[in-house]
Structure 1
Amino acid sequence: MTLPAPPTTLIPMTTGAAFPVRRVFCIGRNYAAHAREMGNTEAEDPFFFTAWAETVVADTDVIAYPQSTADYHHEVELVVALGLSGRDVPVETALDLVHGYGVGLDMTRRDLQTAAKNAGKPWDVAKNVEQSKPVGKLAPAAGFDPTAGAITLSLNGERRQTGDLSDMISSVAEVISYLSRFYRLEPGDLIFTGTPSGVGPVVPGDVLTASVAGLPDLTVTVGPPAA
């Protein structure tokens, strides 16, 4: 019996094209205020974890509330989509690898993350979750400045997260350069670049609107748990 190949996750672009997702890298503790609200110190080097491409959902207005959690949190992030490959990439040329930018959410089973952290265990069950990484339409890299601009999230019309891309501890270029020391980055790779402070819980029925100045907004409703 021959099994069919798994489908490729595609993110629509403002140009009408689609971006095929290969891998997902997520940067943690990249905004000092968020690191402090989580009880952590600022990371000297970029701190990252990975996720399956299947966690990314696009062109949808509903995401499922996952099972096995009672504390599911929102985190708004600038998402970087790579269009070229590179290893040991200098900071000065790192942005040349970028194909586009978008707004994303890194949804987190916070109760499971806290339990894992306290036990010194990996966070996979908290972060690598189906439908936990919704991404809005990607805009071409040309013309967008990833070093400054408002990044916000509203929950049911009420502002919960407010920051600026200039608040990042490690810039997009520095993050790309750092990751390329450990992996050969490839076209299709996504990088979630961290979240400002103000993260908090959601429940089914909540409407999340995530924004980065100069990029298309992302609006999703939290649905019931998936079957």
Structure 2
Amino acid sequence: MSFEHAFSEAQRAGVYRAIHERRDVRSQFLPDPIPPAVLARLLEAAHHAPSVGFMQPWDFLVIDSLEVRRQVHDIFIRENEKGARQFSGERQQRYRSLKLEGILDSPLNLCITCDRRRGDGPVLGRTSIVDMDLFSTCLAVQNLWLAARAEGIGVGWVSILDQGELATVLGLPEQVYPLAYLCIGYVSEFLGEPELARKGWRQRLPLAELVHANGWGRGVTDDELRQALGDSCRP
């Protein structure tokens, strides 16, 4: 095997650390502003995500206006109540106890959008799976998220929003979809495990149960790989 293109051990450790220590932050935000140079690095990382047909469908709406954030927070309040009513009993009580956004707590909000008409005519690689532009934009979100962790900055994705109302508040063109509404800022701590796992909502599934070989439901056959997958799921 050739390792000539691999990162150094320290560099690899940094990449894997960012992946494993990335958290969906909701309640640990500090008021400290993000320096413009740091924000530029995060946006540059997001902009270097891969995209289908190299269409780069994303735009980045940087939101520091308290008035705009209050309008978005109002949307969250309404949608969160709808969400709570979908559960019952103890599950609903636990849902209501969770803090699921940091819209007003974080010093900065960022909306990453997807322009579904970007590119001239048919887009290479999108002729069969039309949602590849959305998937590409998700990669930009993840790039930003990992870069933010490396910078010591927390990110929280607010998914409990009515996208139509959000688009109206942000004045988005018809073809532009508000894919990810993010809360961003320095934090007092990064939790040792995902908050929903800590609060008992759900736990991480064992990786060994999720890997299939050459078709659904067929376990991996290599003994060393199977052992490694099992070891990776242990504390």
* TM-score range normalised by the length of the shorter chain: under 0.3
Greater helix content: 2
Instruction: Compare CA radii of gyration and give the structure with the larger one.
Output: 2
Q: What TM-score results when the alignment is normalised by the length of structure 1? A: 0.28
